[in-house]
Amino acid sequence: MMVGKKVPNFELEVYDPQKGGFGKVSLQDMRGKWVVLFFYPADFTFVCPTELADLAEKYQELQELGVEVISVSTDTKYAHLAWHRSEKLLEKVRFPMGADPTGRVSRLFGIYDEENGLALRGTFIINPEGVLVGSEVNFYNVGRNAEELLRKMKANVYLMHHPEEACPAKWTEGKKTLKPSEELVGKVYQALS
């Protein structure tokens, strides 16, 4: 998947910690919402529970922005349930945990490792129209920061309502944005001062 392209519909079985049971999610069912797909290599590993715990800390703020989060690995929904019950770091995880045991969805996003059957650490932001607007991929041994994901989501939501603007590096709510034009060329410093 390339940023700027429409994401085809997909469906995942999930373990839903809020409901305490299994279900299914599809991109089609989430149209009209922002969607964050948060791929990780495997349940019962080492960096993965730290990432999901970090993401769980920001989940409510993400939901308040109109974002649904789905964590995804190539494990089964049964493994997700067992891991959620046994790993103390996951006790605050409330977002659906997607099962991609065939790697179909991981392949769609280009992060499936054919040699070991795992997904790389990929974060994908899909806007309410189903267009991929953000993509980040890390190797197995580097965890992500949910604070930065929240910052990016706030910027994306802001820009959806202000398409004539752009958010500079480290932009946070209330900070200056840029309005690209011929007057701004070579004058970004002045515009941000």
In this structure, what DSSP letter does residue 45 have? -
Residue 25 tokens read as 């999610």
3 state SS of 79: helix
Spatial separation of the C-alpha atoms in residues 100 and 7, rounded to whole Å: 17
* Helix, strand, coil content of the chain in percent (nearest 5): 35, 25, 40
Spatial separation of the C-alpha atoms in residues 44 and 33, rounded to whole Å: 30
Is 48 labeled as catalytic in the residue annotation?
yes
- Annotated catalytic residue within 48, 56, 69, 70: 48
Query: Where in the sequence numbering do the catalytic residues fall?
Result: 48
